[in-house]
Structure 1
Amino acid sequence: MPLFIGLMSGTSLDGADGVLASIDEHVDGCQVQVLSAGHVDFPENLRSTLLALQHPGADDLHHEALAANQLATCYAACVRQLLTSAGITSDQVVAIGAHGQTIRHRPELGYTRQTNNGALLAELTGIDVVVDFRSRDVAAGGQGAPLVPAFHQDLFAAGGLRVIANIGGISNISILPPRGSHAVPTTGFDTGPGNMLLDLWTQRHCAQAYDRGGQWAASGTVNAALLTVLREDAFFRLPGPKSTGRDLFNARWLDQQLTHFGNLTTTDVQATLVELTATTLIDALVTVAPHVNEVFICGGGAYNTFLMGRLHSALAARGSTATVQSTLEIGVPPDQVEALAFAWLALRFMARTTGNLPTVTGAHGTRILGALYPA
């Protein structure tokens, strides 16, 4: 089977995840074998620059260009790690799919911006590089996100209705009809913040990158009044297709919501933010897939034991008997799913096959996604 590399750095801004995988597509879905997986932490100066670029600032073009170069260097380091671990040479890999780092996402204004330097990455690795997967969908009137439901359907669809929930910095869901069924289309959309606000609050008050296992949040108590205020944001009432990111759910947004809650403990705020992630995701899921039997979680949120428990409780509170499990239970570790999706998107581009789902993004039709930088 042909070999592809997928590289993903998401809204959590912790680093680059990569996979080297053999991927083969069939009429009834794709087969994937991961040969190696890797992660490269972002240097602190790159992370701080990428955070600063989320908002307008002085000399943005210059700072973005330098960040793109540094990001490509991190991506190249991850590629070397993957090749070395698998004992594979660069000439054996068909292409790299590199998502880039989202610094603006405004599909309602007709653009999305994932900073990256595909030319430099091709130069550093000697492998064809496919980048800029969102722009063509946006040009076709779509949200440009989420892009992963098409991959989820290809890889994870089974005999019954399934939901794949990706909880990275932002949460999104993919509603997968039974494989081979044409009565109901695959759908999906962003549901709101995932780990992003949790990580932000943890970094601010604990001097840690994230709340490992949700232990800090578990020591707090959900504040019902604050949760109500947080859930009043208009985004949660929008129907899909919809997408979001740091343009909305950021430190400024959170601080504004906390204006009248200065007497809360930091642990209570963290517990409430976990409840926000869990309840908004489950509300969206139950609205569009009330009869789902299986929910599988990928992304960093799958490792947050407290959050996983709150997701299950939120489902049960809505009368659902669906199980909540990690995607590891269906063969793929949760921290590999998104990187695998961009390896799959690279395969689709190289085959000149469409990669979006209009039922997910709202685009006018299916499109070939990406732009190529040949080695």
Structure 2
Amino acid sequence: MSTYKVLGLMSGTSLDGLDMAYCHFIEENGRWKFSIERIKEVSYTNEMREYLKNAIFLSEEDHAQLHKDYGIWLGEQSKHFIDEENLEVDFISSHGHTSHHRPEDGFTFQLGDGQLLANTSKKQVVCDFRTKDVTLGGQGAPLVPIGDKLLFREYDFCLNLGGISNISFDDTGVRIAYDIGLANMPLNYITQRMGLDYDENGNRARTGTLDHDLLQKLNSLAYYKLPYPKSTGYEWFTGEIVPLIQASKATNIDLLHTFIHHNCEQIANEVKKYAVKTPNKLLTTGGGALNQFFMDTLQEKLGSTATVSTPSKTLIAYKEALVFALMGVLRLKGETNVLRSVTGAREDSSSGEIFYPTTD
């Protein structure tokens, strides 16, 4: 029985920063056990946040340079974390940062050059977990459901609230997962207009008033009517959501209030659609799970269909880094780490590119 010691790296659409989770995994009797041994978040500077946020608009040459620069930066941060905590690391498993995601065009791109990350950190690296699935006709997302299936079997539904919301569950023995829609992306956009990093516990949103006109427009968005498999991202937000925010006459606090109600209505709709018993256990992770008004509103919309369960703050914040660490283990073992039932690809795959440090 082997213990895999992995440093998982995750940067999500919310652009808070780099999440690093040093994890141990053991496979015992066909079941995976895990522990998160050390964690660290490195916040992005305003300059880096803007650079990453606007990567989609960069020229091909500038985008290629950012890919290299970010790979070196990831390597530097990893090496510093490993050294300061004196960690014994078998390899690094990196999600990178998604700059482009257009699976309908057969294209997705995760920033963070794997070779430069390996060279800088002096560790083996597994990264770029989405591209292979897209070449197989899949959405390349969401990827976390393999972790839900293998690490969190006791929950009926696993909900992640990052920049966007995605859900994962078993339907007649097959794992299903897809992006529901919005989560923190509009909330972050609005709080930044207010000069705030975030709305702690949703305290400001809780005092707001519902904008019924905006709520109706949000609930009518075409994306919600699409069948799964489906995924979305920053392009959808900037193209369809930002114009609605900018056109609204509502106050920022009323906007926060309305978006949380909208998010929770859409999530509850999906859970109720697939719930086969009552009550269900719903595991909620990601930054949105730290927003108490978000959680209270979600429980209210779900009613008796499901009980919202929020785990430790460490698991809330670092679950995605944990899962990408596991995906790296599965890749090195040659086992499935991306599910076609989730992404819509022609077949399951063992995805991820492997890099070894060189001295060149």
Calculate the TM-score normalised by the size of structure 1: 0.89
Q: Distance in 2 between matches of 1:321 and 1:191?
A: 18
Alignment of 1:1-375 (within 5 A): 1-54=3-56, 56-57=57-58, 60-84=59-83, 86-88=85-87, 92-158=88-154, 162-176=156-170, 183-204=172-193, 206-250=194-238, 252-258=239-245, 261-262=248-249, 264-291=250-277, 293-316=280-303, 320-328=304-312, 333-375=315-357
Aligned partners of 2:72 and 2:113 also within 8 Å: no
Q: Distance in 2 between matches of 1:255 and 1:340?
A: 31
Q: Distance in 1 between matches of 2:21 and 2:147?
A: 15
Identity percentage over the alignment? 32
Deviations 1:174-199 (Å, cap 9, x if unpaired)? Answer: 1147xxxxx42111110001101110
Q: Distance in 1 between matches of 2:306 and 2:298?
A: 11
Q: What is the aligned residue count?
A: 354
Aligned partners of 1:16 and 1:74 also within 8 Å: no
Match of 2:312, SS? helix
Q: Which one-letter code corresponds to 1:289 in the other structure?
A: A
Aligned partners of 1:298 and 1:327 also within 8 Å: yes
Aligned partners of 1:49 and 1:63 also within 8 Å: no
**Which of 295-304 and 74-83 deviates more?**
74-83
Q: Name the Cα RMSD after superposition.
A: 1.8
Aligned partners of 1:18 and 1:78 also within 8 Å: no
Q: Distance in 1 between matches of 2:34 and 2:246?
A: 48
Calculate the TM-score normalised by the size of structure 2: 0.93
Deviations 1:43-70 (Å, cap 9, x if unpaired)? Answer: 221111111123x35xx22322332234
Q: Distance in 2 between matches of 1:355 and 1:128?
A: 18
Q: Which residue of 2 aligns with 1:180?
A: none
Aligned partners of 1:162 and 1:176 also within 8 Å: yes
Match of 2:70, SS? helix
Unpaired segments of 5 or more residues in structure 1?
A: 178-182
Q: Which one-letter code corresponds to 2:266 in the other structure?
A: T
Cα gap change, 1:74/1:300 in structure 2, threshold over 3 Å: closer, same or farther?
farther
Unpaired segments of 5 or more residues in structure 2?
A: none
Aligned partners of 1:195 and 1:300 also within 8 Å: yes
Cα gap change, 1:267/1:374 in structure 2, threshold over 3 Å: closer, same or farther?
same
